[in-house]
Amino acid sequence: MEIIEKAPAKINLGLDVLGKRADGYHELEMVMSSVDLADRLIMEELEEDKIIIETNKAFLPIDKRNNVYQAASIVKKRYGINKGILIRITKNIPVAAGLGGGSTDCAAALRGMDRLWQLGLTMPELIDIGMEVGTDVPYCIYGTTAFISGKGEKVTPLRPMPQCWVVLVKPRLSVSTGKIFQEVDLDQLHHPDIQELSDAILAEDYQRMIAAMGNSLESITIPKHPVVQQIKERMMKYGADVALMTGSGPTVFALCQKYSRAQRVYNALKGFCEEVYLVRTLK
């Protein structure tokens, strides 16, 4: 039996860093939503007790460094599963881009293994396993517009964000999330109003939502990688309603209510960067 799971990318409509926790992580408040750019996972049980990861990207690790491998290892050990598993990952989401590609693959693998082995896992159980792999995994297990707090483990679903078009642009560089967080100076950050952003989404007010959007980490990433700001400015010049970096970067996204504007932003950025995507938000 084959199990197929879709693993959509996430964007940060809002990201605020509140402080450093005793466990070394940062206390965060975020609003995330998923978009229709997705990886695809196919899972199949093996008689031999081993984990095999296959992917269409040669540069991706397929051993213990891979989030999906880690998730499979944890599930097998925790629930005493002596069968093996083959997981084929078709990557469409850019890697190291702030779009949660590794985390959403891990979440999809957990959902798929739950179905494959009929484990009947609850949402708290899935989240507990996901947190062992990465702090964005709990959100990706839900995969809907949500308010996230703590270090990422507290997820409160909201209404789906107002439907719109999304232009995603990833410049040709990678950003280390760990290194960005090492440079956090709370007094130097812009702190968006995450509660106002959440309230705007609950009210289904698009204009109020875009006015409240913001990302604390832009002030750290942009000085290191000015191309992020250049992309934002180009998006706004060609008609985006709002342009914002997602996660710790380097991907920037624009929101547009009108398809014609989204197409214009897409065309304007297509010659500026190689990885440009025009997608919809997910309901």
- Residue ranges of the annotated binding site for ATP are 94-104
SS3 at position 166:
strand
Point out the catalytic residue in the list 10, 76, 91, 232. Answer: 10
**Two structure tokens written together for 66:** 């891979």
Among the listed residues 16, 39, 105, 136, the single catalytic one is 136
Structure tokens at 200: 């705007």
- Which region, left, alpha or beta, applies to residue 251 given φ > 0 means left and ψ of -120 to 50 means alpha? beta
> Is residue 272 packed enough to be buried (19+ CB in 10 Å), middle (13-18) or exposed (0-12)?
middle
The size of the chain, in residues, is 283
Instruction: Please say if 10 is a catalytic residue.
Output: yes
Which residues are documented as binding site? 94-104
Residue 122's alpha-carbon distances to 59, 68, 114, 157, in angstroms, are 34, 19, 10, 16
Per-residue exposure over 148-167, b if at least 16 CB sit within 10 Å of its own CB, e if not: bbbbbbebeebeebbebbbb
Catalytic residues, by residue number, are 10, 136
